[in-house]
Structures are given as C-alpha cells and as structure tokens.
Structure 1
Amino acid sequence: MITLTRFHGDRFSVNPDMIVRADATPDTVITLIDGTKAIVAESLDEAQRHRPHAPVVHRRPGDRYRGYG
C-alpha cells in the first residue's frame, strides 16, 4: 500500500497494483483500474518515489491500453 494526500488534504492508501496511470495535468491525477480518479497533492515525481519498483511503460499518443503482458 502507498499513502497519498488528496488535493484538499485527506490522506488515503491505495494498492499500487490498482494504479493504471498517473498524469500531471498540471495537478497529479491517479487513475485506478476501475476508472476512479484522484487528484493528489504530491507531484508526479513524488508519487513515483512512493513506488520505486514501478515499471515504466512508454506509450505513443493514440496507443490504447491493452492490459498487462
């Protein structure tokens, strides 16, 4: 589990395996596999430091998510 801070100050924990993506828009938006989105106070770099073993997936614009593997 990783602990993040919602933009308005509440802290929450999430299983990192449930995170599909994290975007800086410029606020950091975490998207979970069920489509739930959370705007967090941490920067994208700070959020990635919470999960240093996270794989980095590079996709080109227009690529569709096709699941794991």
Structure 2
Amino acid sequence: MIELTRFDGSKFVLNALLIETIEAHPDTVITLTTGKHYVVREPVEHIVARVIAFHSTIHRHCCVQESACREEAAHG
C-alpha cells in the first residue's frame, strides 16, 4: 500500500499491486488493473519510488519468512 494525495489535498492509500500504468499528461494519472483512474499530486517518479519500496518490503518479508521456515525444518 502506498499513500498518495488527491488534488483536493486529501490523502488516501492505494494498493500498489493493482497499478497498471502511471502517466503524466500533465497531471499524474494512475490506472489500476480494474480500469479505475486516480489523478494525484505526486509526480510519476515519486510514485514509482514508493511502489519499488513497497515491493522491496514484501520481498524482504517473504525472504525472512522463507529463511525461518527452512531453519525450523532443518532443526525440527
């Protein structure tokens, strides 16, 4: 999940796993795999960085879980 800002200044949290495209023309428009569109204040580069950080967090968590499971199986 990533936090974004609508043009009216209100904050919302978006499921980054559903992002299909992010475009700037000139406003930043996020299109989800569901077809829904969001116009936000953040520039494309900031959103991409947040999505990468989100995916990195998921990957790190999965690696820690997998490592713990292997360790438990080896000692189990």
> TM-score scaled by structure 1?
0.71
User: How many residues in Structure 1 have an aligned counterpart in Structure 2?
Assistant: 55
Unaligned runs of 5+ in 1: 55-69
Superimposed CA distance per residue, residues 2-53 of structure 1 (whole angstroms, 9 cap, x where no aligned partner)? 0000111111111111011000011100001111101000001111111225
Structural RMSD (CA): 1.8
- Letter of the 1:17 partner, please give it: L
Identity %: 39
Q: Given the alignment of the two structures, is residue 36 of structure 1 paired with residue 39 of structure 2, yes or no?
A: no
Task: Kindly indicate which of the two structures has a greater share of residues assigned to helix.
Answer: 2
Aligned to 2:9: 9
Distance in 1 (alpha carbons) for counterparts of 2:7 and 2:46: 14
Structure number with larger C-alpha Rg: 2
